[in-house]
Amino acid sequence: MKEVVRTAVLGLGRLGYWHAENLAQKVKGAELVTVIDPMEGRAEQVARELGVKNWSQDINTAFHDDTIDAVVIVTPTSTHAELIKEAAKNGKQIFVEKPLTKELADADEVIQVLREQNVNCQVGFMRRFDPAYSEAKKRIAAGDIGKPLYFKGVSRDGNVPHEEFIKYSGGIFLDVAIHDYDIARFLMNQDVTSVHSSGSILLESNRFMEKYNDVDQGLTYLTFDGGATGDVETMRVAPYAYDIRGEVVGTEGSIRIGSMRNTDVNILTAKGSTHDLIQDFPSRFQDAYLLEMIAFIESVQKGETPICTAVDGKAALEIATAATQSFLSGEKVEVKSLSQKSLI
């Protein structure tokens, strides 16, 4: 058992900062040795804020530092494949943000390198660690709703990322709906066999997405290898909240996940009853981001396979790639290689 896992965070944008903060301040057994980002001044700024001793603009610094055990990759999706391979070849244990890679072909190569180098890689599907989703998983596995028959996922986020991000994001099915594809496999404990998807641009302010063959609203109909079906509604439109919900309907009941509430307070006036609504992903998933990082560090300490592996990352990517093809062609698309399991 390794006492302290020496880590580096690569990429300090929207999410990288949160992972760095957790590793620097909240994850027992982790030491954040360095933070790295190619944007001038960013790494130094984050290092000073979080009290981290080292920083760099050169991503390769972490790979060639023998004292670093693990890297946390939170860079743009298009960079994941190369960075994972480089990290693995240098013997670093890896946490990578979703999606595993942008292209499916790269996912196979990445998995092969990870196997050759005997390195583990956890993929950042944090919903698996969210207390509500994780409780739902336990209840479904315990048979509380009978045999799962139907999955419903809703992800609506009105905080549209900047255009440069959309340009390289791989589109709404790969960037956003992929969370629901992963949690659908995880909760149903079944692989997805086919998808049929569609989408549109609902808001004029999102019209720029057309340039990238992207939309602000997508719908995916899923079929599973155990006979179940499901749907995933994905929107970059939500003028009221960061709205993430899930439901699994079984032969003996249904389990619903997500209430959108920040605090359990109702304000009652003559006009009616109101309560707050969560507005962004760091608030909704702050526990999940911390819990997934705690699990990652523990898996490195114990030398164990993490809960959400690169094989799971590839499975979700296959579904997202098929959903994108289906959206572009208007046809139902089979999900070809049922992904050598590892659902839990």
Q: Which residues here bind ligand NAD, judged by CB under 6 A?
A: 10-16, 37-39, 42, 59, 74-77, 79, 97-98, 124, 126, 165, 175, 281
Min. distance of Cβ 279 from ligand NAD in angstroms? Answer: 15
Of the pair 179, 196, the CB lying nearest ligand NAD is at 179
Of the pair 16, 250, the CB lying nearest ligand NAD is at 16
Min. distance of Cβ 333 from ligand NAD in angstroms? Answer: 22
| DSSP-derived secondary structure for 223-277 | EETTS-EEEEEEES--SS-EEEEEEEEETTEEEEE----SSS--EEETTEEE---
Min. distance of Cβ 185 from ligand NAD in angstroms? Answer: 16
Of the pair 133, 224, the CB lying nearest ligand NAD is at 133
Rounded CA separation 20/74 (Å): 10
- CB count in 10 Å sphere of residue 308: 28
Q: How far, in whole angstroms, is CA 84 from its chain's centroid? A: 16
Is residue 261 a contact partner of residue 278, using CB atoms and an 8 Å limit?
yes
Min. distance of Cβ 21 from ligand NAD in angstroms? Answer: 13
Of the pair 126, 294, the CB lying nearest ligand NAD is at 126
Instruction: Determine the residue type at 240.
Output: Y
The DSSP output letter for 10 is: E
Of the pair 124, 258, the CB lying nearest ligand NAD is at 124
Q: Residue 265: which region, alpha, beta or left (left: phi > 0; alpha: psi -120 to 50)? A: beta
Min. distance of Cβ 170 from ligand NAD in angstroms? Answer: 8
Of the pair 65, 193, the CB lying nearest ligand NAD is at 65
Let me know the angle formed at the C-alpha of 70 by 69 and 75, rounded to the nearest 5 degrees: 150
Of the pair 116, 280, the CB lying nearest ligand NAD is at 280
Of the pair 251, 283, the CB lying nearest ligand NAD is at 283
Rounded CA separation 53/44 (Å): 9
Rounded CA separation 201/189 (Å): 33
Of the pair 14, 139, the CB lying nearest ligand NAD is at 14
Min. distance of Cβ 4 from ligand NAD in angstroms? Answer: 25
Phi, psi angles (nearest 5°) of residue 87: -65, -45
Q: How far, in whole angstroms, is CA 74 from its chain's centroid? A: 11
Tokens describing residue 115: 């196997």
Min. distance of Cβ 24 from ligand NAD in angstroms? Answer: 17
The DSSP output letter for 116 is: H
Min. distance of Cβ 115 from ligand NAD in angstroms? Answer: 23
Min. distance of Cβ 161 from ligand NAD in angstroms? Answer: 6
Instruction: Provide the residue count of the chain.
Output: 344
**Residue nearest ligand NAD by beta-carbon distance:** 13
Q: Which of 235, 126, 127 is nearest to 176 (CA)?
A: 235
